[in-house]
Structure 1
């Protein structure tokens, strides 16, 4: 495994922030030529890095620390009343695990999700090339969990396996079942899957207090956040 002090990182030029208006963002990327194994990736996740396709990154913006790494302590997690209702409502879904999936059915669901739920984002409109580079090009410790309602594929949760937990990379789902709150259910399911595997944490990526799209993560408590180089429980 590569030694952290010997790793190379590259910073992007300032660019428009995807989450907060009128902000400039800088992203720090690990050298893509570095061989990535689960040990190294787990260590980087523990200090706030994330994965997108084959790239390992974290924000490093001048004068802004709004993107805060967050993870759920799954062994202490208890579903709230509304989460219990959501959990029970979706028990008719069947979940299967797959290695990286690049078939028409999965892409169509991804395309539908991006083009209906994220019209205001920088991923719109969806494309096959984007889908492949963002999700399909992944390490062997990545799993595509497919959620089906009968014969219909209704959600996919792309999840990485770490040394001490799972990392929720991305979830996309059908807009045709709004009462099921599939996005919430996929997180609840991943929390339960993490617990079943005997792990401690489900990493949820970055919590951004002033961004509605990212603030939902505080619903899953106890939530730990990475502040000043250590994990603390969000009060």
Structure 2
């Protein structure tokens, strides 16, 4: 956000932590009704915020700072051996950048993914309006990066497109194709997209040390973590 910009900031009530069962969490949220929000979004990402639906938020939990914002400098990134294998394994896929509009095809894949990956977690009975409220909003610069094989949709990487960066909002993919590593492949393609268009960073949201669902993020190197208000490089 620019030095002369101002926007109301709200603190949520305590709620259940989405990462650690039994813990409570609290967020800081930028005013979702402020007309400046589209212009301030890129700066908010650089300050450790993230978008979910129409809300731009940052964890602000009492006594816990486990969530660490992480981004990858696109030009400096070098895939490791495992990531190069992932690229070869998915060389038969085609990519298409599409408007962020829900289709029956998108929603059916989204439902299959949630039912397999998050059974009983509250997201596995999603309705079309849940899809819309979670992944996009009227002001967000969002695109769907579609992964297809012979026309069949295998994955969608929901991506916000900013002047200097891309932000990986959410990725869902065909659960029957788990051996392909489509989550990793989607990030590799978002990095390629960022490089080709001269964008400096790919934001990956939050990393939590020791959380099994977060470890994949630190395998992309070099990356930067927001620590003490500064982005610190890790190789």
Shared fold (TM-score, shorter chain, > 0.5): yes
CA contact 1:115–1:126 (8 Å) conserved in 2: no
Which residue does the alignment assign to 2:224? 224
Instruction: String of CA shifts for 1:3-49, please: whole Å, max 9, x gaps.
Output: 66621111111111010232210011111111245541110000001
Which residue does the alignment assign to 1:192? 192
Deviation (angstroms), 1:223: 1.2
Instruction: String of CA shifts for 1:194-230, please: whole Å, max 9, x gaps.
Output: 1111111100000011221122200101110001111
CA contact 1:20–1:210 (8 Å) conserved in 2: no
Which residue does the alignment assign to 1:17? 17
Whether 1:77 aligns to 2:77 is: yes
Unaligned runs of 5+ in 1: none
CA contact 1:223–1:233 (8 Å) conserved in 2: yes
Task: Rate the CA distance shift 1:4–1:117 in 2: closer, same or farther, 3 A.
Answer: farther
Which residue does the alignment assign to 1:123? 123
Which residue does the alignment assign to 2:66? 66
Q: Distance in 1 between matches of 2:138 and 2:4?
A: 21
Scaled by the length of structure 2, the TM-score of the pair is 0.94
Q: How many residues align?
A: 235
Whether 1:88 aligns to 2:114 is: no
Which residue does the alignment assign to 1:40? 40
- Following superposition, which runs of at least 4 residues in structure 1 exceed 3 angstroms of deviation? 1-5, 36-39
Which residue does the alignment assign to 2:52? 52
Whether 1:167 aligns to 2:170 is: no
Instruction: String of CA shifts for 1:60-117, please: whole Å, max 9, x gaps.
Output: 0001000110001121111111110100111211111111121100000011111111
Q: Distance in 2 between matches of 1:195 and 1:38?
A: 23
Q: Distance in 2 between matches of 1:210 and 1:22?
A: 16
Which residue does the alignment assign to 1:149? 149
Which residue does the alignment assign to 1:30? 30
Deviation (angstroms), 1:119: 1.6
Task: Rate the CA distance shift 1:112–1:90 in 2: closer, same or farther, 3 A.
Answer: same
Task: Rate the CA distance shift 1:4–1:110 in 2: closer, same or farther, 3 A.
Answer: farther
| RMSD, aligned α-carbons | 1.8
Instruction: String of CA shifts for 1:169-213, please: whole Å, max 9, x gaps.
Output: 111000111221111100111111111111111000000112211
SS in 2 for 1:42: helix
Q: Distance in 2 between matches of 1:25 and 1:183?
A: 26
CA contact 1:38–1:162 (8 Å) conserved in 2: no
Scaled by the length of structure 1, the TM-score of the pair is 0.94
